[in-house]
């Protein structure tokens, strides 16, 4: 089934522009309400969380109107991390959960992602059916059956306790100074609270959201401020979350970065030694570094690759019974504890590894030697299809020929932004730069 509204992570775009308008949010709420309310028996619930974008107020109200019009009772969580919605949806016996967030995107963007009653993101098929209901229109509930809306004030505290409970028994963070960068996003209260409650000395940045500054010069997509803070405060480690806190980057005491691949490698090695890595397999996307694959092979651990998007990682994990996966971008999925990527959870387990192994962040930061990898993005306009242009296709074909037997090439359209992503991987740094530059120049000419 073809999806028009949904991308790789829900519906996303610039606020007040199609499809991210208040009208569309209300229609989506009504369609999702009708989809999940298959009968008129019993009480039907939806939990809605959001990040700190200004447009979150608008979409929260519009979704509430849509859901209540079909008889769903709405529980409003306010600003909470995306994984909190995944956790609270089944915990509160809700039929559906919604997170209002554009994750790592700029503040002008926003998005709507849905979780099923089990706390996992919806399948492509379910999203396509909701789209069909949006297009067809939804008959509202009778006047006496309209739903209610209620604020839930302790949602983040429930999430806090669940995250802390995942740590090994007896683990405390006393003696560790942590810089936490919350990207002025959804975890701006949660993350510092959890770290402090576990005994860490906490230095917080990116905790002053104003509706416009989410991900702006901070967070997992721009770690420079956090790196400077780590060095300036003599911290032991830095944890950088993105706007909805489902991604993480770890900084060592010198400000150097461990990306999602390195974090997954550390966890996979530890879990394999403890005989708790199901199927001795890690699930990652086609973007993950070849060095990760080689390292896992040395441990007799398999790497199962998927398409780009944490939802596809989770789908593969559930289908095959694996319990660890993620993305180079910092989504770390541990289905023993959570239904989706959780940046704070991953950060806590990195700190636990430091404690249990008696090693510094710099000793744990680089588990394997990465193969040189280069990624460049080219923005395109509405209606443009640069990958269909003959000159771009010719450049890609030539690059593939140049890399044959020496590396790999991945060209894709982003599922969350109007970007063409050009990534290559090769031991020969000069060849790596040449092939990426050749494709990027042709894509730029095409747009």
**Distance (Å, rounded) from C-alpha 333 to C-alpha 341?**
4
DSSP 278: G
Q: Are 276 and 324 in contact (CB under 8 A)?
A: no
Phi and psi, residue 365, nearest 5°: -65, -45
**Distance (Å, rounded) from C-alpha 127 to C-alpha 32?**
9
Q: Are 86 and 115 in contact (CB under 8 A)?
A: yes
User: What value, to the nearest 5°, has the Cα angle with vertex 218 and ends 423 and 264?
Assistant: 50
Cis before 19 (ω within 30): yes
Q: Which residues are catalytic?
A: 103
| CB neighbour list of residue 340: distance below 8 Å, 6 or more residues apart | 82, 83, 86, 115, 119, 120, 121, 246, 310, 314, 331, 333
| CB neighbour list of residue 95: distance below 8 Å, 6 or more residues apart | 36, 37, 44, 45, 46, 72, 117
Pairing of strands 201-205, 237-241: unpaired
Closest CA to 396 of 383, 406, 386: 386
DSSP 347: H
Phi and psi, residue 74, nearest 5°: -105, 130
**Diameter of the chain measured on Cα atoms:** 69
| CB neighbour list of residue 135: distance below 8 Å, 6 or more residues apart | none
Crossing angle of helices 22-36 and 56-69, rounded to 10°: 40
- What is the distance of C-alpha 443 from the center of its chain? 27
**Distance (Å, rounded) from C-alpha 37 to C-alpha 235?**
50
DSSP H or E stretch at residue 333: strand 332-334
Count of other CB atoms within 10 angstroms of residue 41: 7
Residue linked to tokens 């950088």: 240
Q: List beta partners, residue 426.
A: 407
**Distance (Å, rounded) from C-alpha 108 to C-alpha 403?**
38
């Amino acid at each position: 089934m073809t999806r028009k509204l949904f991308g790789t992570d829900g519906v996303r775009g610039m606020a007040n522009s199609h499809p991210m308008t208040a009208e569309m949010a209300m229609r989506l709420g009504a369609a999702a309400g009708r989809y999940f309310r298959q009968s008129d028996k019993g009480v039907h619930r939806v939990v809605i969380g959001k990040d700190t974008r200004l447009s979150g107020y608008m979409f929260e109200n519009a979704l509430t109107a849509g859901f209540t019009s079909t008889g769903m009772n709405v529980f409003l969580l306010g600003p909470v991390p995306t994984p909190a919605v995944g956790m609270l949806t089944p915990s509160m016996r809700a039929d559906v959960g919604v997170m209002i967030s554009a994750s790592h995107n700029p503040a002008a963007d926003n998005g709507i992602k849905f979780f099923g009653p089990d706390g996992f993101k919806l399948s492509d098929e379910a999203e396509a059916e909701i789209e069909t209901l949006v297009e067809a229109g939804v008959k509202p509930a009778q006047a006496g059956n309209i739903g209610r809306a209620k604020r839930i004030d302790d949602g983040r505290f429930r999430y806090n306790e669940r995250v802390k409970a995942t740590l090994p028994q007896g683990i405390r963070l006393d003696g560790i100074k942590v810089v936490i960068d919350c990207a002025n996003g959804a975890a701006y209260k949660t993350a510092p609270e959890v770290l402090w409650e576990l005994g860490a000395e906490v230095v917080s940045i990116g905790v002053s959201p104003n509706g416009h500054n989410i991900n702006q010069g901070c967070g997992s997509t721009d770690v420079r401020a956090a790196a400077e803070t780590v060095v300036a405060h003599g911290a032991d480690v830095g944890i950088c979350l993105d706007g909805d806190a489902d991604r993480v980057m770890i900084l060592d005491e010198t400000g150097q970065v461990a990306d999602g691949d390195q974090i997954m490698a550390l966890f996979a090695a530890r879990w394999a030694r403890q005989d708790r890595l199901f199927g001795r397999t890690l699930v990652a996307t086609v973007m993950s570094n070849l060095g990760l694959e080689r390292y896992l092979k040395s441990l007799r651990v398999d790497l199962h690759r998927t398409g780009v998007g944490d939802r596809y990682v989770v789908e593969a994990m559930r289908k095959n019974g694996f319990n660890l996966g993620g993305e180079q971008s910092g989504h770390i999925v541990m289905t023993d504890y959570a239904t989706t990527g959780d940046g704070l959870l991953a950060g806590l387990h990195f700190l636990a590894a430091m404690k249990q192994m008696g090693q510094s962040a710099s000793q744990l930061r680089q588990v394997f030697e990465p193969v040189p990898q280069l990624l460049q993005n080219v923005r395109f306009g509405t209606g443009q299809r640069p990958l269909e242009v003959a000159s771009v296709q010719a450049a890609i074909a030539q690059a593939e020929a140049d890399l044959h037997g020496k590396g790999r090439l991945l060209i894709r359209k982003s599922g969350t932004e109007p970007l063409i992503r050009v990534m290559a991987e090769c031991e020969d740094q000069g060849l790596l730069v040449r092939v990426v530059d050749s494709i990027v120049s042709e894509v730029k000419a095409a747009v």
